[in-house]
Structure 1
Amino acid sequence: MIWLVRLLAALLLLVGIAVALGGAWLAWLGGSPYYLPGGVAVAFCGYWLCRGDRRAGWLYALFLTVTILWALWEVGFDGWQLTARIVGPALFGLPFLLPFVRRRIGRGALAAGLAGLAGCLLILGCALRSPMEIAAEGGRMTTPIALSGDPGQWPSWGRDDAGTRFSPLTQITPANVEKLQLAWTFDTGHDPMSAPVPSPLQSTPLMVDDKLLLCTQTNIVFALDPETGKPLWRFDPKVDAKGGSAVRTCRGVAYHDGSNAAPATCPRRVITATYGAQLIALDSATGRPCPGFGQSGFVDLNQGMGRTAPGLYYISSAPVIVGDVIVLGGWVADNVSTDEPSGVVRGYDVITGALRWAWDMGNPNNAHGPPAGQAYTRSTPNSWAPMSVDAKLRLVFVPTGNATPDHFGAYRSAQSEKYSSSVVALDAGTGAVRWSFQTTHHDLWDYDVASQPTLIDLPVPGGAVPALVQPTKRGELFLLDRRTGKPLADVRERPAPQAGKVPEERLSPTQPFSVGMPSLAGDRISERDMWGITPIDQLWCRIHFRKLRYDGPNTPPGLTESLLYPSLGGGMNWSGVSYDPDRRLLLVNSIYYPTLMQLVPRATVGGGAKGPGASHNATDFAAPLPMAGTPYGARLRGFTSPLGTLCLAPPYGRMTAIDMTTRTIAWQRPVGTVQDSGPLGLEIGLPIRMGMPGFGGTLVTRSGLTFFGGLKERAFRAFATDTGKELWSVRMPASGNANPMTYVGPRSGRQFVVIAATGHVTSQSFPLGRTFHAYALPQEGK
C-alpha cells in the first residue's frame, strides 16, 4: 500500500505549496498570517511522509491543533465558517489512522488522525448552525383586526391596496398545514427557455369575480376556474419579444368593478400593461378587449415618450386603481445611455382610457401630456416597482428608481437628484406631489426602491398612526407617516465613503440610515467573512477581498474594482414585505449577495452591450454596460470563488419577523437549503440548511401561517408566524420566486394557496418554470 501513502504525501505537498504561496501573497496584502506557515507545515508533512519520517504525523497533528484553535478564534462556533477552515485539513488527517500509514511513521500518525477526527466531530457538534438565528420568545398575544371586503378573495396584487399580503382566512392552520396536498396545476404553455433572452414567470394571481386572473411573462392573460385551475378564457396581446432582457416579466394584473355605474359594456374589467408598452382593458366575463377603452381596448403608452426602442421601456408590475383612475409607471432599461425614455408616472381613466394626469418630475407643464412634437423629460427616475394606495387620503405611493445610467451621476438634473431612489406620495386625482422621502442620495449603486410600500396602522399608546413601511435594497426599513412622509422611526444621516470615485463624479457626503428600525443590511464585511468549499478557494477569496476597494456601505464605484454590499439585488427587492396586523409582525425576506463593480473607460466598452437587454443580460453577466453619453461603462459580477460559490460566508437569505410595537426583531432565521445548489453549478442534493438567496415574497394568514417559496431552491414552505418554525414544505418543479396568494373556492369553500413555479435567471435558479400550483387540505371523504 506504499502507493497510497505516496499519493497522500504528494497531495499534502502540492496543497501545502499552493497554500504557502497564496498565504505569502495574502500576508503581503496585509491579510491573515495563518496561511503562510500553515501551508509550509503541510508541505513539510507531505515531504516527510513520502520519506517515512516520523515527524510527519506529529507535525500534522500540531498543524491541525493550531488550525482548530485559530478557526475558533476567528469565527467562534459558526458551523459554516468552521467548515471552510477545518473540514479539508481534518479529512486529510483521517488517512493517518490507516494501519499502513501508522506502520510507516509510528505513533505520530495516530495523533494526526485523532486531531482530524476531533476537527470532524467539532463540525458535527456545531451542526452547521448559524449565529444569525434569533429565536422567538414564547407565544404572542393576538388581537384580530376588522377588515373590509370578502375575506375569501384576493382582489389586488398585494391582497389589498396597502400591500400587506395578509389574508384573514383560518381554514389552514399551524395544526393541519402538514396535511396540505396538491389540488391542481396550471401550465401556461410558454417555454421560458425558448425566448432569445429567458425570463421568469413571476405573476401573482388575483381571485375576484369567481375567477383567478393572471398573466405570463409574454403578457398572455388567463382567467382560471379557482376550483380546478382549468382556463375559462385566454387573451394574447401578441407582444414582440425583441430587445428582451432577463427581467422581462408580468407580475400581475389589476381589476375594476364598475357594475354599479356606466358603462353597460365591460362593467368588470381586467387591466393589464405589457412589454410592448400597451395598456389594455379586458372584459372579465369574456377576456375580450373593452371597445370603449382607448382604441378598441388598447392605449399606446409610448405616446409622449419620444425616441424609444424595443426593450427600453415597458411595464412589469401590476397597475393600481384609485376610484376611476389607473396609475402606472414603467421599467426603463438600466445603464444604456444618458438619453433614455422618461420615468413619467401617469393616470388614465379606467372607462375611456383617456389620460387624466401625468407626473413628469422634470417638467410640471406636462401634467396633461407634452405638446405635439415634444416628449416627457428623458432619463428621469422611473417607477417599475408595485405601488400602493390609501383611498381615504387619495394618495398613491410611488417607489422610484435612480436616473439612468445607474452608476454615473455627474450629469443628472436637480429634479432627478431630488426624486431618485425615493418613495413619493402623489395626489390620486391630479398627480401632484404631496411629499417625497429619499432613501439613497445621489444613487450610484442601482439602489432603486424596488419594493411596494406597505401601509400599516402603527400601534402607539392610545391608538394608531397611519404609517408606511418602505423596504429598500440597502437593507434599510424606513418607517414614515404616510400623511406627511415624516419619519416615525429615527433616521440619521451618516458620513458616506468618498475615496475612489472618478474625477468627473460628485458624491453625497452622507446617506440616510433608519436607526429606529432593525437593519437587515448585514454587518460590514471583513476578511474573516470570506468563505469557500475548501481552505484553498477561501484563501483565494481572502486575497481577492484584500485587493478590492471597500469602505463599507455606499463605497463609490471607480476605475478600481469595488465591493457592493448589499448588492444591487438587495437587501429587499420587488417582492416586498408582509404585515400581520393581528400579531403586529412585519415579515421580511432579505438577500445577502455581494457584487463586484468597476467603471471602465469608454474606449474599452466597445460592443460589449448588444442592446437594451444587455442591461440585465442573462448569459454574460460580466459584459460591460455601455452608459453611453458618459466617459465610462460599468462592469458588474458576483463575488464568487473559482468554484462558483459566493465568497461571503452564509447565510445568503434570511426571514425576519419584526415586532412593530417595539420595533425589534421577534425572530430571524436562515431559510433554504443547498439541495438544488453547489459548486461549479452542480446540485449537492442534500437538504442542509444554509440560507439561500431569492426574490419571491411572503403571504401571512390570520391563522398564524407564513407561506414562502422565494429561494434558489425548488421548494415551497409554511412557517409559524409567531416563532418562525418550519411546519410544512413541498418540492416543486422550479423555485417559487413569485409571491404566493390564498383564497376560498366559491363552490367548495376550500382554502387554496397558489404560487407560480418560476425559477429565476439573475440568481441562476434553474430550470425556469411555467406552471402554477394550488395546494389545499384534503376534501372530506377523499
Structure 2
Amino acid sequence: MADPETTRNPLARGWLFLLGAVIVLAGLFFLGGGAYLAWLGGSLYFVIAGIVLVLSGLLIARGRGTGAALFGLAFLGTCLWAYGEVGLHFWPLVSRLFAMAVGGVVVALSVPLLTRGKGARALGWLSAAVLAVGVAATAVSAFSPKGVIAATETPPPVVPAEKTAAPADWSAWGANVAGTRFAALDDITPANVNQLKVAWTAHTGELPKSTGAGAEDQNTPLQIGDSLYVCTAYGTVISYDIDTGAEKWRYVSGGTVPSWQRCRSVAYYDAAKGMRVTPLAEGADATVSPHRIFVPTVDARLIGLDADTGKPLANFGTDGIVDLKVGMGEVKPGYYQQTSTPLVAANLVIVGGRVADNNETGEPPGVVRAYDVITGDLVWAWDPGNPEVTREPLSPEGYTRGTPNVWSAMSYDAKLGLVYLPTGNATPDFWAGERTPEDDKWSSSIVAVNVSTGRPVWHFQTVHHDLWDFDVPAQPVLYDIPNGDGTTTPALAQVLKSGMIFLLNRETGEPIAKVEDRPVPQGHVAGERYSPTQPFSVGMPMIGNQTLTEKDMWGATPFDQLLCRIAFKGMRHEGVFTPPGMDRALQFPGSLGGMNWGSVSIDPTTSYMFVNDMRLGLANYMIPRADVKGGSGIEMGVVPQLGTPFGAMRERFLSQLGIPCQEPPFGTLSAIDLKTKKLVWQVPVGTVQDTGPLGIKMGLPIPIGMPTLGPTLATQSGLVFIAGTQDFYLRAYDSRTGQEVWKARLPVGSQGGPMTYRSPKTGKQYIVVTAGGARQSPERGDYVIAYALP
C-alpha cells in the first residue's frame, strides 16, 4: 500500500501543515503561559497540555496520524482535568472544553488525510460526529439560563397589601419614603404580561454623553395625579401627561460640571398631606404653590418648582433656588454635587451630596442639611466632623471638610420620627491613615437621625476603617416583618457593595439577623492602620462575594482563561476584605459591587425582597507619592489621593478580551424571604446580545448573567421588573419562582428604575422606564417609554 505522505496532493499537504502550525502555536502559548503559571504556584495542566499539543501539531504538519491520536489524548486529558476542577458546571466547562472540542472536530475530520487505514478513518469520522454533536448541543444549551437556584418550596400564601379606590401615587424615588419600590397594582399579571405593548414614547431631547464617569440617565420618574415627572442627567425637569406622554412643561436648570452628571429623581411635597415637625417661619405663606417639586443639580443647587406649572417657587430660597455651596468653603468644579434624589420628610427637604472620590484630602464637607419645604430656610445640619454643629457652620471655613458624606438616597419613618442616612467614607478611599476618630466613627454606616433636629439617635457601621470604597451605596429600605403572631418587627434592610445584606431593627439599630465580627487580613502599608475585625452579616444570604481561587478563573477560550489564571496568581487575594498594599491585590467584589445605588424592592404580600447585583473585581495597589504621575479620581486608572503618602492604581479584573476573569454569572436577580432570612431563588440577568469580547456586540441572547446597575420594581400581582442590564431589554419575572415571563426590546440600554401607576383618568395601569443607555455601551438615547395592556 502506498505511503499517504508521498501520495498526498499539495492541497492536502498545505492544509495539514496549516492545521499543525495552528496547533503548535496553541501548544506554545499553553507551554509558555503554563510554565509561568506553574512558577507562580498554579495548575500544571497547561504545561502538560502544551507539550502534548506541540508534539501533536508537529506530527500533523508532517502528515503523521499519531499527531491526531496525541490531540485526542490531549482532549481526553483536558476532560478529566476540567471535571476534576469544576465538576459538571456548564460555563466553567465551556471555558475549558469548547475550543478544544472545536479543534477536535477539525482534527478528526482531517484523519482521512493522515492515514489510509479504514479503522482509523472510521474512528476519525465517528469522533468528528460525536464532538460536533457535543459542540452543537453546547451551543444550543448556552441559550438557556445556567446556575439557576430554583425555588424549592411552595410560595407563601399571598396577603394582599391594602388597596384603595385610588392607588397611591409613585411620589418618591423608591415609590415612597420607605423605599420599597412596590405598587399594590394587579392589572398586569404573570398571565397577561406578555401582552404588554408600548403605549407611548416621549423624548427628553437630552442625550447623556458618557459610558461611565460623565452623564448617565439613571432616572426613576415620579407620578402625581395625571402628571409624570422626569429629570435628565443635566438637571432638566419635564412634566408629561401620564396617558399620552404629551409634554406639559419643561424647566432647564442649566447646571454644568466636568463629570458625573446624574439625576436619579426629583422629590415631591404636597402641603395638604405634609405634617410639620418644625414651626413655619413668621410671615411665610404655605398656601403658595402647595404642590412642589424639588430638583437637585450637579452644580450644587436645590431648586423648588411649582409641580403644576414648572415655574420656580417665588417663596423658596432666592427665586426658587437654595445655593448648597453656602457654608461649604472652597468647592472646586465637580468636587461637590447632587446626584441622588432629595428626601422630603414632613416639612423638610433633606440633602446630602456626592463628593469627588480619591482626588485629595480635605475635600468639601459631607454635611447633611434639612431645609424648610416652604421657605428654603436651613432648619438643621448634621456635620459628621463636629457634633456641636446644629445648623450653620461654627467656623468661617465652613463645615468640617473631608468627612463621610451621604451621596445615596435616604429613607424616613414618620411614626418613629427618624431619617436614615447611608454614609460613605472620608476621601480618599484606599488610604485612611489621615482619617480622624470622627471619620472612623461615622463612615460606611447607617445613621438614624431625629427628623426635627438632625441629631443622631443610633448608628450601625457596616465596615470598620473602610479601605475598599465600600460606601453604603443604596437607600435603606424600611419594612415591617410579620412575626407570625400578629405582631411585626420594624426592620431596615441594607444591601452593600461587599455583597452583604444587613437586617436591623430600625427603631434601635440592633441586628435582627445575626452579625459576627470576624478577624480579617491585616495590611502592611507604612502609616496605615487596620481594623482587626469586620462585621459579617452571617444571618442573611451573601451574594457574589466568595473568596476566589484559581479554579474560579474563566475566559471565553482557554487562552484568556490562562491569562486570567496568571493574573490571579500574580495577585494577593484573601477574601472580601483583602487590604490594599504595595503589591497587586484583588478586591472581590470591587468598588462597584456587589450591590449598588439601585437598592431593592420588597413585595409585602410575600415578604420577599428582590436584590440585583454585579460581580466585578478590582485590582489595586498603592503608589508612592514620588511615583504618582497624573491621574484623577474618575473611573479606573491612577488616582492621586493628594495629601497622603500614596496614590493608588485601580483596574477592573478583566481578561484581555474585556470579560470578567471569574466564572459567570456576572450579575443576578435574587429573592430573599425576610421572614425566614433565606434565599428563595436566584437567576442570571442579562445576555451578551449588546456587548461581548473587546466591546464587540455578539448579537446573541445568551443569558450568561451580566452586571446590573439600576433598581427593580415589584407589583402586587407577583411581578418583578428590571431594566438595568447591559443588553437593551426591560424584563419581568414571576416574583414567586424567578421565571422570566416577558421582555421588551428597548432602543438603547437603560439604567433607569421601572415604575408603575394606574391612571386616575382611564384606570389603565402603565409601566414606565427611561432609556438613556447602558453604562458600558456607547449607544445613547433620550427615551421615556410607557407600556400598557391593549
Structure 1 residues 168 and 289: alpha-carbon distance in aligned structure 2, compared to 1, 3 A threshold: same
Deviation at 1:748, TM superposition (A): 1.6
- Aligned position for 1:407: 430
Deviation at 1:709, TM superposition (A): 0.9
Q: Secondary structure in 2 aligned to 1:486? A: coil
Deviation at 1:114, TM superposition (A): 4.9
Contact 2:299 2:337 in 1 (8 A): yes
Residue of 219, 233, 244 corresponding to 1:228: 244
What is the rounded CA distance, in whole Å, between the counterparts of 1:580 and 1:748 in structure 2? 26
- Aligned position for 1:697: 711
Residue of 673, 695, 701 corresponding to 1:687: 701
Residue of 72, 82, 97 corresponding to 1:86: 97
What is the rounded CA distance, in whole Å, between the counterparts of 2:160 and 2:211 in structure 1? 47
Deviation at 1:102, TM superposition (A): 4.1
1:296-695 residue pairs with structure 2 within 5 A? 296-371=319-394, 373-462=396-485, 463-499=487-523, 501-609=524-632, 615-617=633-635, 621-622=636-637, 624-695=638-709
Contact 2:598 2:711 in 1 (8 A): yes
Q: TM-score, normalised by structure 1?
A: 0.95
- Aligned position for 2:6: none
Residue of 731, 734, 758 corresponding to 2:748: 734
Supply the AA of the counterpart residue of 1:717.
R
What is the rounded CA distance, in whole Å, between the counterparts of 2:677 and 2:551 in structure 1? 30
- Aligned position for 1:183: 199
What is the rounded CA distance, in whole Å, between the counterparts of 1:556 and 1:116 in structure 2? 50
Deviation at 1:768, TM superposition (A): 2.7
What is the rounded CA distance, in whole Å, between the counterparts of 2:653 and 2:133 in structure 1? 31
Please list every run of 5 or more consecutive structure 2 residues that lacks an aligned counterpart in the other structure: 1-10, 275-284
Supply the AA of the counterpart residue of 2:682.
Q
Structure 1 residues 99 and 374: alpha-carbon distance in aligned structure 2, compared to 1, 3 A threshold: closer
What is the rounded CA distance, in whole Å, between the counterparts of 2:711 and 2:116 in structure 1? 58
- Aligned position for 1:251: 264
Q: Secondary structure in 2 aligned to 1:366? A: coil
1:187-198 residue pairs with structure 2 within 5 A? 187-193=203-209, 198=214
Contact 2:571 2:584 in 1 (8 A): yes
What is the rounded CA distance, in whole Å, between the counterparts of 2:286 and 2:576 in structure 1? 54
**CA offsets, 1:425-471, max 9 Å, x none?**
01000000000000111111100001100111112242211110011
- Aligned position for 2:254: 238
Contact 1:80 1:130 in 2 (8 A): no
Deviation at 1:584, TM superposition (A): 1.1
**CA offsets, 1:593-640, max 9 Å, x none?**
11111111112222223xxxxx224xxx32x11100001111111111
What is the rounded CA distance, in whole Å, between the counterparts of 1:670 and 1:195 in structure 2? 23
What is the rounded CA distance, in whole Å, between the counterparts of 2:263 and 2:553 in structure 1? 37
Supply the AA of the counterpart residue of 1:186.
A
* Residues 1:18 and 2:29 aligned together: yes
- Aligned position for 1:36: 47
**CA offsets, 1:630-673, max 9 Å, x none?**
01111111111112221111100011001112111111111111
Supply the AA of the counterpart residue of 2:70.
L
What is the rounded CA distance, in whole Å, between the counterparts of 2:121 and 2:390 in structure 1? 82
What is the rounded CA distance, in whole Å, between the counterparts of 1:469 and 1:44 in structure 2? 59
- Aligned position for 1:612: none
Q: Secondary structure in 1 aligned to 2:304? A: strand
**CA offsets, 1:126-162, max 9 Å, x none?**
6347763211134431111326894252011111111
Deviation at 1:13, TM superposition (A): 0.9
* Residues 1:773 and 2:773 aligned together: no
Supply the AA of the counterpart residue of 1:436.
H
What is the rounded CA distance, in whole Å, between the counterparts of 2:213 and 2:456 in structure 1? 37
- Aligned position for 2:280: none
Contact 2:111 2:124 in 1 (8 A): no
Structure 1 residues 99 and 345: alpha-carbon distance in aligned structure 2, compared to 1, 3 A threshold: closer
Deviation at 1:195, TM superposition (A): 11
* Residues 1:286 and 2:309 aligned together: yes
**CA offsets, 1:201-232, max 9 Å, x none?**
11111101421012111000111111111110
What is the rounded CA distance, in whole Å, between the counterparts of 2:506 and 2:418 in structure 1? 9
Deviation at 1:746, TM superposition (A): 2.5
1:50-65 residue pairs with structure 2 within 5 A? 50-65=61-76
Root-mean-square deviation (CA, aligned residues, Å) is 1.9
Supply the AA of the counterpart residue of 1:710.
G
Contact 2:65 2:114 in 1 (8 A): no
What is the rounded CA distance, in whole Å, between the counterparts of 2:670 and 2:577 in structure 1? 23
Q: Secondary structure in 2 aligned to 1:144? A: coil
Supply the AA of the counterpart residue of 2:515.
V
What is the rounded CA distance, in whole Å, between the counterparts of 1:331 and 1:474 in structure 2? 20
Contact 2:219 2:751 in 1 (8 A): no
Contact 1:92 1:116 in 2 (8 A): no
Structure 1 residues 636 and 110: alpha-carbon distance in aligned structure 2, compared to 1, 3 A threshold: farther
Supply the AA of the counterpart residue of 2:619.
L
What is the rounded CA distance, in whole Å, between the counterparts of 2:518 and 2:451 in structure 1? 34
Structure 1 residues 647 and 99: alpha-carbon distance in aligned structure 2, compared to 1, 3 A threshold: closer
* Residues 1:216 and 2:232 aligned together: yes
* Residues 1:67 and 2:78 aligned together: yes
Supply the AA of the counterpart residue of 2:428.
P
Supply the AA of the counterpart residue of 1:200.
E
- Aligned position for 1:170: 186
Deviation at 1:237, TM superposition (A): 1.4
User: Identity percentage over the alignment?
Assistant: 44
- Aligned position for 2:279: none
What is the rounded CA distance, in whole Å, between the counterparts of 1:170 and 1:407 in structure 2? 47
Q: Secondary structure in 1 aligned to 2:77? A: helix
Deviation at 1:121, TM superposition (A): 4.7
What is the rounded CA distance, in whole Å, between the counterparts of 1:172 and 1:263 in structure 2? 39
Supply the AA of the counterpart residue of 1:162.
A
Structure 1 residues 87 and 197: alpha-carbon distance in aligned structure 2, compared to 1, 3 A threshold: closer
Deviation at 1:365, TM superposition (A): 2.4
Residue of 53, 77, 88 corresponding to 1:77: 88
Contact 2:272 2:290 in 1 (8 A): yes
Contact 1:189 1:770 in 2 (8 A): yes
Supply the AA of the counterpart residue of 1:32.
S
What is the rounded CA distance, in whole Å, between the counterparts of 1:450 and 1:195 in structure 2? 20
Q: TM-score, normalised by structure 2?
A: 0.94
Contact 2:728 2:748 in 1 (8 A): yes
Contact 2:545 2:576 in 1 (8 A): no
What is the rounded CA distance, in whole Å, between the counterparts of 1:47 and 1:510 in structure 2? 56
Contact 1:346 1:359 in 2 (8 A): yes
Q: Secondary structure in 1 aligned to 2:639? A: coil
